[in-house]
């Protein structure tokens, strides 16, 4: 049974158009990078459908439409897909490289279509640009091959890898068979397989994009649920999770874990004098100066109001005390101006260390909190550890 290649091309166009509609409508309730990415891919699918329609009409429309315009539209659709995927994954866009390759490839196609007609070279020129685009699509997906990698990335990686194999096979087949290359609409075995895969590729690629979009949105929602909206540091939930992980590591490795509880001194007067907007500026400056002092593995979180916690994995009480002193000095010396008024700010710091084998996060933070309030009672702008607390309820010797 003979296969009508033009019909396959039109089927590919319909498939691409349907998936464009699915992608576009799937992003209606969201915003941001993920939505922009899927809408770019939807636009690319519309262009891809246009290119397949023009190809399927070859012989019924002029060659300038079915060759020059169709190839131009197809190359633009690939360029948009590269930008869409790399945008979604947070990878460099490589737009300049893709644009230059697309223009050079299209000019070569035009030359070998009209000036020096050579079908095989024309196909090779288009294929080289497509292979470059496929390579740029595949590169940021390769980390999915690691254990626990993204399922969405693997779907896209598999689909795009097959696309690479199809392009290479189509270019190699005439050389291996010693037969001249046949036009894409000629029903040769490679052309039939190539066209059938191209007809379903939009479906699998779009499934991959939707899965990746869902993974991205889930990651963003998880991140938002763990980030303090004002300062951008960990919130209480994220901090507790980080402390639990740090205690688990400390138990296994036998390493210490230090905790600091920090509180901005007299912060209520700042809010009373400058309002909450002024208070927010103070907190942002406070966080910025604390972060400059922290080590690479230290974790900073806001647990409410003007109170912050720092976890310092691998640090004993004395090392953590020294870190607290560096933070205290950095805050005391930070230049701070609110509404044109110079403002001095200090912090009180409580220090606690995890006991060997300790797994109770609440107990650790409670000890740091007790040391913090001891520092407050002792006059503020100082660092105190749990060892420095003098019990107030000890009976007086007779």
Structure tokens at 77: 């659709």
Q: What count of other Cβ atoms lies within 10 Å of the Cβ of residue 192?
A: 14
Structure tokens at 372: 């913090």
Q: Tell me which of 48, 306, 307, 332 is the catalytic residue.
A: 306
Structure tokens at 6: 């033009």
- Characterize the bridge pairing of strands 341-342 and 347-353: unpaired
Distance CA 315, CA 372 (A): 18
Distance CA 357, CA 123 (A): 67
Structure tokens at 48: 């891809």
CB contact at 8 A, 340 and 349: no
**What is the three-class DSSP state of 319?**
helix
Distance CA 128, CA 101 (A): 9
CA atoms within 13 A on the CB side of 107: 6
Closest CA to 237 of 229, 211, 61: 229
φ and ψ of 348, to 5 deg: -105, 145
φ and ψ of 242, to 5 deg: -65, -40
Task: Enumerate long-range contacts of 187-193, CB under 8 Å, 24 or more apart.
Answer: 187/2, 187/3, 187/5, 191/5, 192/3, 192/5, 192/8, 193/166
Distance CA 176, CA 341 (A): 80
159: CB partners within 8 A, 6+ apart: 201, 204, 205, 208
**Straight-line distance from the first to the last Cα atom of the chain, in angstroms, rounded to the nearest whole number:** 111
393: CB partners within 8 A, 6+ apart: none
For residue 173, indicate whether it is catalytic: no
Q: Which residues are marked as active site? A: 306
């Amino acid at each position: 049974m003979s296969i009508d290649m033009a019909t396959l091309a039109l089927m590919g166009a319909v498939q691409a158009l349907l998936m464009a509609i699915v992608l576009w409508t799937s992003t209606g309730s969201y915003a941001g990078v993920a939505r922009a990415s899927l809408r770019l891919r939807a636009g690319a699918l519309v262009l891809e459908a246009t290119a397949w329609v023009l190809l399927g009409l070859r012989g019924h429309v002029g060659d300038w439409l079915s060759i020059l315009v169709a190839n131009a539209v197809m190359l633009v659709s690939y360029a948009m897909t590269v930008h869409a995927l790399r945008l979604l994954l947070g990878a460099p866009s490589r737009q300049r490289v893709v644009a230059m390759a697309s223009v050079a490839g299209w000019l070569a196609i035009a030359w070998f279509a009209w000036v020096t007609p050579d079908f095989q070279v024309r196909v090779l020129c288009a294929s080289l640009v497509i292979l470059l685009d496929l390579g740029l699509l595949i590169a940021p997906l390769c980390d999915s091959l690691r254990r626990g990698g993204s399922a969405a990335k693997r779907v896209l990686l598999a689909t795009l890898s097959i696309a690479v194999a199809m392009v290479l096979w189509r270019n190699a087949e005439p050389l291996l068979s010693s037969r001249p290359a046949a036009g894409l609409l000629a029903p040769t075995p490679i052309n039939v397989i190539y066209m059938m895969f191209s007809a379903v590729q939009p479906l699998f690629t779009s499934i991959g994009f939707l899965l990746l979009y869902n993974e991205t949105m889930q990651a963003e929602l998880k991140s938002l649920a763990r980030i303090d909206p004002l300062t951008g540091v960990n919130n209480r939930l994220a901090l507790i999770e980080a402390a639990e992980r740090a205690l688990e590591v400390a138990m296994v490795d036998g390493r210490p874990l230090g905790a600091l509880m920090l509180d901005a001194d007299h912060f209520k007067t700042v809010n009373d004098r400058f309002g909450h907007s002024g208070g927010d500026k103070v907190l942002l400056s406070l966080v910025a100066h604390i972060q400059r002092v922290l080590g690479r593995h230290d974790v900073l979180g806001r647990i409410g109001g003007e109170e912050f916690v720092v976890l310092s994995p691998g640090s004993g009480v004395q090392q953590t005390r020294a870190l607290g002193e560096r933070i205290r000095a950095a805050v005391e010396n930070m230049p701070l101006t609110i509404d044109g008024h110079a403002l001095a700010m200090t912090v009180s710091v409580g220090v606690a260390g995890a006991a060997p084998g300790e797994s109770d996060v609440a107990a650790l933070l409670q000890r740091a909190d007790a040391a913090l309030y001891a520092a407050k009672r002792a006059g503020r702008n100082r660092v105190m550890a749990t060892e420095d607390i003098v019990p107030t309820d000890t009976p007086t010797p007779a």
